[in-house]
Structure 1
Amino acid sequence: MEKNTNKTVLILGANSDVAKQCIIQYLEKGFSVIAASRNTTSLDNFIREKSLQASKVMVLYFDAEDFDSHQKFYDNLPIKPHIVVYAAGFLVDNEKALKDFKGAKQMMMVNYMGGVSILNIIAMDESNTHLERIIGLSSLSGVRGRKSNFVYGSTKAAFTQYLAGLRQELASRKIIVNALVIGYIRTKINKGLQLNESLIMEPDYVAKFIVNARNSFTIVPNFKWKIIYHILRILPESLVSKLP
């Protein structure tokens, strides 16, 4: 496996199960990793439990919802990243989101607004001439509005569209932007949900698609989910309305 010993990746929302697997895999490729999250204790424990090379991993506090702190967070980075992964995410049940705006607002702030806030700052720093890639984690829930999860899905749809425009904005600087459009993953965010077991992906499997991202904008891990993704895109509204 080719080593990238002089490159740094910044993972925002690094406490998610997929992001933790990304830490492992980026380290295996020789990257230095800046892992940023509100729960720095969990990250420190993870690094120790997995016996990761501590000298190659820096844990920093980052709050996706605290927009006013984002510029200072970026300015204080010890080194500006070559790759940025926005993995922060939040989910509440659709019925709860409809009845209590607090949960809906938090999904909007973490899944979309927080990403736009910090990624705008990172993308507009033209002094970081070695920035080469930005990867945002989105969801198949954002492909079409469905009555079971359309509030959450709307935040992911907005984030995907933002990433699409950011990709165009940064093309002249040869910075690649990818949107990872993900289906069901065996993670703590989905714990307790009734999901089709045959469609559930493991976090380390999904992480491989992030760490090995190439030029395509939309990345859909797993051939089953690729089929579902393309079907959802072309399905008539009359049939979409019949989906759960």
Structure 2
Amino acid sequence: MNQNTNKTVLILGANSDVAKQCIKQYVEKGFTVIAASRNTTSLDDFIHSNHLDSSKVSVLFFDAADFDSHQEFYSDLPTKPHIVVYAAGFLVDNQKALADFKGARQMMEVNYMGGVSILSIIAMDESNKNLERIIGLSSLSGVRGRKSNFVYGSTKAAFTQFLAGLRQELTSRKVTVNALVIGYIRTKINEGLELNESLIMEPDYVAKYIVNAGSSFTIVPNFKWKIIYYILKLLPEGLVAKLP
């Protein structure tokens, strides 16, 4: 019997391209998956078109920005999860976010505040003896503030710091917290952007790093992005200012 047969994964923001690949890969490994998103129809279509075992995947409605609904959502889960993946994300152009706070606020609510809200509820439920791992999807954009995307980047930087503290908070309960610090992915959120093709990762490639996450806090898929990550961390401020 697969050792993961009785384990449940909760994927929040499960309609993203990466999250959908995670659903497939977790099911292939024997997990039961609860896929939660605002767009349940798209998830149902994905499960059907990929011939996934409906007994291993259930779909629930979840709105990352509807904070008041989060406690009820968690309390009503059919099974408390062993693994939680927060994959909800939202992006608007930096200049639009600066000119209109509505877009900036929506990024804050989905990328950061929603994660803090629901993950805090999950993490503080000490009655859930199943919980063994929480994985949050962050971004290279949150490593250093750059002219082209610092509003979006600030939400990811804040989320990474929250995950870092949550990791410390949960150490005594032997719950692992990981932050996936991700570069460019060929997903709908990046459609229309002019990106370096040699740096673009496929959703299923990134999903493998999530599904096979180890003990390290920061996980950066792809050796090219690992190099970029460390360069960004170490680059003097004067040189960061010259970046786009």
TM-score w.r.t. length of structure 1: 0.99
Give the whole-Å Cα distance in 2 for the aligned partners of 1:56 and 1:217. 28
Q: Read off the aligned partner of 1:65 and give its amino acid letter.
A: A
Give the whole-Å Cα distance in 2 for the aligned partners of 1:117 and 1:198. 36
Q: Which residue of 1 aligns with 2:91?
A: 91
Q: Which residue of 2 aligns with 1:4?
A: 4
Aligned to 1:53, the other structure's residue is in SS state: coil
Q: Which residue of 2 aligns with 1:112?
A: 112
Kindly tell me the number of residue pairs found equivalent between the two proteins: 244
The answer to whether structure 1 residue 156 and structure 2 residue 156 are counterparts is yes
Moved over 4 A (4+): none
CA deviations over 1:80-136 (Å, ceiling 9, x no partner) = 000000000000000000001000000000000000000000000000011000000
Aligned to 2:55, the other structure's residue is in SS state: helix
Q: Which residue of 2 aligns with 1:134?
A: 134
Aligned to 2:77, the other structure's residue is in SS state: coil
Q: What's the offset of the Cα at 1:192?
A: 0.2
Q: Read off the aligned partner of 2:108 and give its amino acid letter.
A: M
Q: Read off the aligned partner of 1:181 and give its amino acid letter.
A: V
Equivalent positions of 1:150-189 (< 5 A) are 150-189=150-189
- Sort the Cα spacing of 1:234 and 1:36 in 2 relative to 1 into closer, same or farther, 3 A: same
Give the whole-Å Cα distance in 2 for the aligned partners of 1:188 and 1:227. 25
Give the whole-Å Cα distance in 2 for the aligned partners of 1:119 and 1:3. 26
Q: Read off the aligned partner of 1:192 and give its amino acid letter.
A: G
Give the whole-Å Cα distance in 1 for the aligned partners of 2:46 and 2:26. 15
Give the whole-Å Cα distance in 1 for the aligned partners of 2:80 and 2:21. 22
Q: Read off the aligned partner of 1:236 and give its amino acid letter.
A: P
Q: What's the offset of the Cα at 1:2?
A: 5.8
CA deviations over 1:127-152 (Å, ceiling 9, x no partner) = 00110000000000000000000000
Give the whole-Å Cα distance in 1 for the aligned partners of 2:3 and 2:106. 38
Aligned to 1:55, the other structure's residue is in SS state: coil
CA deviations over 1:179-224 (Å, ceiling 9, x no partner) = 0000000000000000000000000000000000010000000000
Q: Which residue of 1 aligns with 2:238?
A: 238
Structure 2 residues not aligned, in runs of 5+: none
Aligned-residue CA RMSD (Å): 0.9
Q: Which residue of 2 aligns with 1:196?
A: 196
Aligned to 2:121, the other structure's residue is in SS state: helix
The answer to whether structure 1 residue 213 and structure 2 residue 177 are counterparts is no
Q: Which residue of 2 aligns with 1:76?
A: 76
Give the whole-Å Cα distance in 1 for the aligned partners of 2:223 and 2:56. 34
Give the whole-Å Cα distance in 1 for the aligned partners of 2:49 and 2:95. 37
Q: Which residue of 2 aligns with 1:45?
A: 45
Give the whole-Å Cα distance in 1 for the aligned partners of 2:196 and 2:4. 38
Structure 1 residues not aligned, in runs of 5+: none
Q: What's the offset of the Cα at 1:3?
A: 4.3
TM-score w.r.t. length of structure 2: 0.99
